């Protein structure tokens, strides 16, 4: 049985991945400082899987505490989700983002080195393709700039891992570049439930559907896209979670660094997503068209071929699945 350290494992993508790891027979060890998650996520994982993962409420920047995690458990590989992730906030408080995201990665890598752990799966992002690449984005494009301090932390961490592999060729680092994960586990027990007013589209839609926010504002309908609204590559979080298991399997017998997109390969517009949500959940979401949001790109999606060839992974859930499951979770959360 393989012991996998999952940092940020109480978060949105991390918790879904922990469920899939347990279902596949892995032994996940969760580290999370609960800066953006609640401890009851661990209970929910237990309800879903029948198994309670080992949990440490620990900040990855705390080297002593991380050493204890590694000495208590023989860790075979690491999936590193722990990070701050709000793009707008990162513009306002860049130092917190650089400190948390980069320091936690460096500390983790140093402790891995002390304990001889050589398999690293990293949560990167499509944001590393920056504002200037043509889409669909392909892994061999230059991915060396981003448009926010948050995005820059991903670019920098990709660089750090790449340099580390140059110095330690027997190490394996998989840089998973996620596109736009949405949706929830089918139980409705796990999902994306940000504090405060959501910035991302699906959590915002969910709050409108629950009657907690009045209406959705669509940021611009005059983009050079088929219906004028922005297009993104939305993928189901459970598909994304499974992508991590495929990456672990791949890394088991590999060395070196590999960047891999995890997306569906399809662009879906904001308007199409709103209509899919209406259809999947039999409702009519109130919306208005507002001005463009600063920094938004008109359209991008993944070239999803590399994940297929290298990992044998492709997304299987439809946009309706994503909308149905997102609402199932949000509805339960709103009834609490
Ligand atoms: P999330 O905020 O739900 O999960 C991150 C978790 O990490 C949280 O539970 C938080 O408490 C924890 N954390 C933060 N800093 C920590 C630290 N120093 N030590 C220990 N725990 C810490 O976010 P998510 O959406 O699940 O994202 C997971 C990862 O995927 C992040 O690295 C994020 O940047 C990346 N990512 C997310 C998206 C997205 O749209 N959600 C897209 C691309 C990449
Ligand atoms: C999607 C679309 C908005 C809210 C961000 C990060 C990216 C990645 C994923 C981590 C856009 C529109 C949104 C609303 C709207 N995260 N929108 N009304 O901006 O594609 O990506 O999250 O790595 O780095 O930048 O996602 O969900 O914020 O927006 O019309 O109230 O929905 O304009 O076209 P985005 P999003």
Decide: 317 in ligand 2 pocket, CB within 6 A. Answer: no
- Whether 147 has a pLDDT exceeding 80, the answer reads yes
- Average pLDDT over the chain reads 97
Cα separation, 171 vs 196, in Å, equals: 40
* Residue bearing the CA closest to ligand 1, atom 19: 59
Joined tokens for residue 169: 């060729």
For the chain, what's the residue count? 336
Rounded mean pLDDT of 143-155? Answer: 93
The fraction of the chain above a pLDDT of 90, given in percent, is 96
Please confirm whether the linkage preceding 307 is cis (ω < 30° from 0).
no
Cα separation, 2 vs 273, in Å, equals: 38
**Where do we find the tokens 């940000």?**
194
Ligand 1 neighbours (beta carbon < 6 A): 7-8, 10-14, 31-37, 59-61, 81-85, 100, 104, 123, 125, 178, 180-181
pLDDT band at 295 (very low <50, low <70, confident <90, very high): very high
- Is 150 noted as a catalytic residue in this protein? yes
Q: Pick from 297, 279, 269, 275: which is nearest to 287 by CA? A: 275
- Whether 1 has a pLDDT exceeding 90, the answer reads no
**Residue 331: in which H helix or E strand, if any?**
helix 319-335
Of 26, 84, 137, 150, the catalytic one is: 150
- Contact by Cβ (8 Å): 329, 184: yes
Joined tokens for residue 167: 């110095």
The distance of Cα 324 from the centroid of its chain, to the nearest Å, equals 19
Q: What is the pTM of this model?
A: 0.98
Biggest CA–CA distance in the chain, Å, is: 56
Mutate to test the pocket of ligand 1, among 6, 12, 184 (most ligand atoms within 8 A of CB): 12
How many other CB atoms sit within 10 Å of the CB of residue 333? 18
Ligand nearest to the CA of 56: 1
| Strand partners of residue 120 | 78, 173
Residue-level pLDDT at 236? 98
- Whether 143 has a pLDDT exceeding 90, the answer reads no
**62: region left, alpha or beta (phi > 0 left; psi from -120 to 50 alpha):** beta
Ligand nearest to the CA of 237: 1
Q: Pick from 73, 332, 292, 32: which is nearest to 191 by CA? A: 332
Rounded mean pLDDT of 92-114? Answer: 98
How many other CB atoms sit within 10 Å of the CB of residue 144? 12
- Give the model confidence (pLDDT) of 159-211 as tens digits: 999 999 999 999 999 999 999 999 999 999 999 988 889 999 999 999 999 99
**35 Cα–ligand 1 center, Å:** 10
How many other CB atoms sit within 10 Å of the CB of residue 215? 11
The fraction of the chain above a pLDDT of 70, given in percent, is 100
| Strand partners of residue 176 | 123, 260
Please confirm whether the linkage preceding 136 is cis (ω < 30° from 0).
yes
Beta 216-219 vs 256-262: how paired, if at all?
Answer: unpaired
- Whether 336 has a pLDDT exceeding 80, the answer reads no
Residue-level pLDDT at 43? 98
Rounded mean pLDDT of 148-169? Answer: 98
Residue-level pLDDT at 137? 98
Cβ-Cβ contacts under 8 Å for 92 (sequence gap 6 or more): none
- Contact by Cβ (8 Å): 250, 175: no
Q: How far apart are the first and last CA of the chain?
A: 37
pLDDT band at 3 (very low <50, low <70, confident <90, very high): very high
Beta 256-262 vs 231-232: how paired, if at all?
Answer: unpaired
- Whether 33 has a pLDDT exceeding 80, the answer reads yes
Residue-level pLDDT at 78? 98
């Amino acid at each position: 049985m393989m012991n996998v350290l999952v940092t940020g494992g109480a978060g949105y993508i991390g918790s879904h991945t922990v469920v899939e790891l347990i279902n596949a027979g892995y032994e996940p060890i969760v580290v999370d400082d609960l800066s953006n998650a609640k401890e009851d996520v661990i209970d929910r994982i237990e309800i879903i899987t029948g198994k309670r993962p080992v949990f440490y409420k620990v900040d990855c920047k705390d080297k002593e505490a991380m050493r204890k995690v590694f000495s208590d458990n023989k860790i075979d590989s690491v999936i590193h989700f722990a990070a701050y992730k709000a793009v707008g906030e990162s513009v306002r408080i860049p130092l917190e983002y650089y400190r948390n995201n980069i320091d936690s990665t460096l500390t983790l890598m140093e402790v891995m080195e002390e304990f001889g752990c050589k398999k690293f799966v990293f949560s990167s992002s499509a944001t590393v393709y920056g504002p200037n690449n043509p889409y669909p984005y392909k892994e061999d494009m230059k991915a060396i700039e981003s448009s926010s301090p948050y995005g820059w932390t991903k670019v920098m961490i990709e660089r750090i891992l790449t340099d580390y592999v140059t110095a330690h060729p027997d190490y394996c680092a998989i840089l998973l570049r996620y596109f736009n994960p949405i949706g929830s586990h089918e139980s409705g027990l796990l999902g994306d439930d940000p504090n405060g007013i959501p910035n991302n589209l699906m959590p915002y839609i969910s709050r409108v559907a629950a009657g907690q926010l009045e209406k959705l504002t669509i940021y611009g309908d005059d983009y050079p896209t088929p219906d004028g609204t922005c297009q993104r590559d939305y993928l189901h979080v459970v598909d994304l979670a499974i992508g991590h298991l495929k990456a672990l399997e791949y890394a088991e017998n590999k060395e070196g660094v590999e960047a891999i997109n995890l997306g569906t390969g399809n662009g879906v517009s904001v308007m199409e997503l709103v209509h899919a949500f209406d259809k999947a959940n039999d409702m009519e979401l109130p919306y208005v068209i507002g001005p463009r949001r600063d920094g938004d790109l008109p359209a991008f999606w993944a070239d999803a071929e590399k994940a297929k060839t290298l990992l044998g992974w492709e997304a299987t859930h439809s946009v309706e699945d994503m909308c149905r499951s997102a609402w199932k979770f949000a509805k339960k959360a709103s009834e609490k």
